[in-house]
Amino acid sequence: MQVLQRSMAACLCLLLAAPSAAWPQAPAEGVPRPQAGKAKARAPYQSGELHGDERILHALSRFTFGPRPGDVDVVRSIGLDNWFEQQLHPASLDFTDLNARLAEFPAMQWNPENLLFRIPSNAIIRQALDGKVSIPERGALHAVYEDQIYRVAEKRQEKAEKQHADLNKPALGGTPMAAPAGMPAGIEVQAERSESPTPLSKETIGASAAPSESGSMMAATQSPSAMDPIDIDPILALPAQQRVSKLVLMQPAEIDGFFKSLRPIQHVALEAGLSPEQRETVGDLENPERLVVEELTAQRLTRDIYSTAQLQEVMTDFWMNHFNVYLRKNEATPYYLVSYERDVIRPHALGKFEDLLEAVAHSPAMLLYLDNAESIGPDSVAAERAKMAAARRPGNQKKAREGLNENYARELMELHTVGVNGGYTQADVTQVARILTGWTVERPQRGGGFEFDPNRHDPGTVKALGQKFKDHGEMEGRDLLHYLATRPATAQFVSRKLAIRFVSDDPPQSLVDRLAKTYLSSGGDISAMLRTLYHAPEFWLTNVYRAKVKTPIEFVVSAVRASDAQIDNLRPIANELRTLGMPLYGCVPPTGYDWQASTWVSTGALVDRMNFALNLAASRLPGITTTWSPQADSSAGTLLAADAPNAESEESRLEAQIVAGGVSDSTRSAVMQQFQQQSAQATQVASARPFAAQVLRQQQGPSPLERQDQLLAGLLIGSPEFQRR
């Protein structure tokens, strides 16, 4: 029935679409093309080429995270081809606005070692508690370590007490397993973290936006160390620098109680007026690891929303997904991801594929994520030593070194280069894993970098993929990467994936071949491939116009861009991505997220998209404000019935702003019906009691007219047309 119903719908589409097929494909001179806001939505199976503003809209929808108001005009004025070339050469663009926004996150410029030291992970704190890491002697950082050590020690204590209690009475059940404290750093912790596929737990992202979580409220009433609310307010009233100093000088038990007692509104007050560095200090004192994850997420969303180098960000997103690394692989991963995105992926996003592949293969993030850091050659010096050690201490329960790990070797071929049908066997996987032994990470718990360890490297020449790879240390692996990067199968694999991202879910083979040809002739030049794509006739066919369904990140970011929202808090956006099943850095398997429609269109997801649209448009997301009517700031409340905007013009205005290329007649009439209903009510209020509306606005928020606009905008963002690009 499912199938039957869908095919009936398709037939219906064809019938209804027939009249629009008679549209002139190339309008004669003097015949005005429809304006952006009025353009009829076109059915995707129409043949022919795109023209005029539709070309601009199409390019903007594919090479950016969606147009912002005014973008079409800008591109029209500088010319589409010029705009595209600018996007391929982002260095020439103006980053003043973006840089000002990114200045909010100073820690995002640090290297992993510095980041781990200054915003310590739980693993670092446990090491400090056990005397393996020295504690900074003074200043705010000293306080951070003292506070975190206090918390870890307290957890250990609680746990010991609970175990004692458990021994004396039967278990009551229903108690979730507490995070094990005091466990040795490393592997065991990694396992603990990776057990749940739900990435970015609420505690890690949403928490400081919503410290009203029952946990902290409970603590406020139960914990003997919780501060009386009276003590908090005077601290919040202090000037910024004194406020931070006061926190730094508090004793660990005191500051623990302070944060546990803090109500959401007080949390906002605590951060008010702080410099970025001061805000980071406060975040560090409260929960260091969460600070890193929040800033990592926030800087990414800031770039996606505001960067002028949109294509670079779209490609960064593409490669972050192609070379996926899961945030919760282990406790150091969030710290390494900062550098992974900033130093490995983004600088190469428009460069040469082989350089990118090399950089990824040398990155601690990938080496740890896919376990190559632990892989040991079966005949290596390290393996011999381990065997001898084991023989000396039989029955040793310590985890034995497991030897070769094939995880990265397999994904390198299956997911990063030649693809699953790239013509390799299981024996090749094992041999490739041998070649890559010794590629590891120096002191991974402390943020160390890439290291080639000759003791772990498997000696001897390896035959893999029909080639001989001579053993010359690290170069053996680099030869392998070069070999893989220059395979026609890799050209095809990468080309198809690009075509799926930029053109359609089922791209024509002719286009894929065109891209693969450029790949091979240009030495894997990603910009050259994008230029080929831009100039390919297949890219400009009307049947690919709006053929792609937006993934959650594309939907959410494009909605924020289209609404020109004022954003003081990015957490609701990060949370929405989790709700929609696409959290940033949260894809557990190495496959990355899918680009195809079927993954993202589901019943639950559509409800969530519609609700996000309504909430965004009505400024109901905390810290995100949208303004729809030009008069809203000053005089909206004083509008009388006579001044009320004409229904149609209001709809056109919002439609032109939000949905590039316009909506269908049926969508428009569904929206208009709402507008007219609301309008009638608003007019009644306004005419019956002219001042009532103004008073209402001042006391209760938006005026009826603003509420109309919010509903209209919400409906447009939730419309089928806006779900496509």
- Of 203 and 594, nearer to other proteins (C-beta) is 594
The amino acid occupying position 179 is A
- Of 302 and 678, nearer to other proteins (C-beta) is 678
| Per-residue tokens: 4 | 């039957």
Q: How far is the CB of 8 from other proteins (least distance, A)?
A: 8
- Of 484 and 715, nearer to other proteins (C-beta) is 715
- Of 105 and 722, nearer to other proteins (C-beta) is 722
Q: How far is the CB of 455 from other proteins (least distance, A)?
A: 24
22 lines the binding site for other proteins (CB under 8 A): no
Residues linked to residue 549 through DSSP beta bridges, in sequence order: 724
Give the residue ranges of DSSP H helices in 415-508.
426-435, 474-485, 488-502
Q: How far is the CB of 283 from other proteins (least distance, A)?
A: 26
Q: Which value, to the nearest 10 degrees, does the dihedral of the CA atoms of residues 602, 604, 605, 608 take?
A: 160
- Of 2 and 222, nearer to other proteins (C-beta) is 2
Q: How far is the CB of 324 from other proteins (least distance, A)?
A: 11
d(CA 581, CA 553): 10
| Residues in 559-578 at the binding interface with other proteins, rule: CB under 8 A | 578
- Of 239 and 395, nearer to other proteins (C-beta) is 395
d(CA 97, CA 309): 12
Cite the beta strand spans of 63-157 per DSSP E. none
Q: Binding mask 359-378 vs other proteins (x if CB under 8 A, - otherwise)? A: ------------x-------
Q: At what angle do helices 526-535 and 80-88 cross, to 10 degrees?
A: 160
d(CA 83, CA 115): 37
| Residues in 29-68 at the binding interface with other proteins, rule: CB under 8 A | 41, 43-44
| Residues in 441-480 at the binding interface with other proteins, rule: CB under 8 A | none
- Of 524 and 592, nearer to other proteins (C-beta) is 592
| Residues in 387-426 at the binding interface with other proteins, rule: CB under 8 A | 397-399, 407, 410-411, 414-415, 420
Q: How far is the CB of 343 from other proteins (least distance, A)?
A: 25
Among 614, 644, 685, 696, binds other proteins (CB under 8 A): 614
* Binding region for other proteins (CB under 8 A) out of 21-29, 434-442, 671-679, 683-691: 671-679
Q: How many CB atoms are located within 10 Å of the residue 475 CB?
A: 13
Sorted by sequence, the CB contacts under 8 Å of residue 166 that are 6+ apart come out as none
* Binding region for other proteins (CB under 8 A) out of 1-9, 235-243, 463-471, 495-503: 1-9
488 lines the binding site for other proteins (CB under 8 A): no
d(CA 709, CA 715): 10
**N residues, the chain:** 725
Q: At what angle do helices 139-168 and 240-249 cross, to 10 degrees?
A: 50
Distances in Å between the Cα of 357 and the Cα atoms of 151, 344, 480, 519 are: 41, 9, 11, 14
Instruction: Classify the phi-psi angles of 29: left when phi > 0, otherwise alpha if psi is within -120 to 50, otherwise beta.
Output: beta
Q: Which residue has the tokens 């663009």?
A: 93
Q: Binding mask 677-696 vs other proteins (x if CB under 8 A, - otherwise)? A: xx------------------
- Of 110 and 593, nearer to other proteins (C-beta) is 593
| Residues in 166-205 at the binding interface with other proteins, rule: CB under 8 A | 166-167, 169-178, 180, 182-184, 188, 191-192, 194-198
Interface with other proteins: number of residues (CB under 8 A): 93
Among 490, 504, 667, 679, binds other proteins (CB under 8 A): 667
Q: Which value, to the nearest 10 degrees, does the dihedral of the CA atoms of residues 93, 97, 101, 106 take?
A: 60
Q: How far is the CB of 410 from other proteins (least distance, A)?
A: 8
- Of 449 and 720, nearer to other proteins (C-beta) is 720
Distances in Å between the Cα of 681 and the Cα atoms of 379, 635, 675, 678, 688 are: 81, 19, 10, 5, 11
d(CA 355, CA 481): 10
| Residues in 586-605 at the binding interface with other proteins, rule: CB under 8 A | 588-591, 594, 597-599, 601-605
671 lines the binding site for other proteins (CB under 8 A): yes
- Of 266 and 596, nearer to other proteins (C-beta) is 596
Closest by CA position to 278, among listed 243, 253, 306: 243
Q: How far is the CB of 440 from other proteins (least distance, A)?
A: 18
Q: What does the DSSP 8-state code read for residue 34?
A: P
d(CA 375, CA 462): 16
Alpha-carbon dihedral sign for residues 418, 424, 426, 429: negative
- Of 62 and 348, nearer to other proteins (C-beta) is 62
Q: How far is the CB of 353 from other proteins (least distance, A)?
A: 21
| Per-residue tokens: 659 | 């949905």
Q: How far is the CB of 673 from other proteins (least distance, A)?
A: 7
714 lines the binding site for other proteins (CB under 8 A): yes
Residues linked to residue 450 through DSSP beta bridges, in sequence order: 441
d(CA 623, CA 626): 10
| DSSP symbols for 450-467 | EEE-TTTSPPS-EEETTE
Q: What does the DSSP 8-state code read for residue 28?
A: P
Among 455, 569, 579, 627, binds other proteins (CB under 8 A): 579
Q: For the chain, state the CA radius of gyration.
A: 29
Q: How far is the CB of 473 from other proteins (least distance, A)?
A: 28
Among 25, 114, 157, 163, binds other proteins (CB under 8 A): 163
Q: How far is the CB of 38 from other proteins (least distance, A)?
A: 18
- Of 8 and 238, nearer to other proteins (C-beta) is 8
Q: How far is the CB of 332 from other proteins (least distance, A)?
A: 17
Q: Which value, to the nearest 10 degrees, does the dihedral of the CA atoms of residues 582, 586, 591, 593 take?
A: 10
Q: How far is the CB of 517 from other proteins (least distance, A)?
A: 26
d(CA 25, CA 47): 9
Q: How far is the CB of 664 from other proteins (least distance, A)?
A: 7
| Residues in 315-334 at the binding interface with other proteins, rule: CB under 8 A | 326
516 lines the binding site for other proteins (CB under 8 A): no
433 and 409 Cβ atoms separated by less than 8 Å: yes
d(CA 651, CA 667): 11
Q: How far is the CB of 674 from other proteins (least distance, A)?
A: 5
- Of 299 and 667, nearer to other proteins (C-beta) is 667
* Binding region for other proteins (CB under 8 A) out of 255-263, 457-465, 511-519, 609-617: 609-617
- Of 172 and 642, nearer to other proteins (C-beta) is 172
Q: How far is the CB of 553 from other proteins (least distance, A)?
A: 14
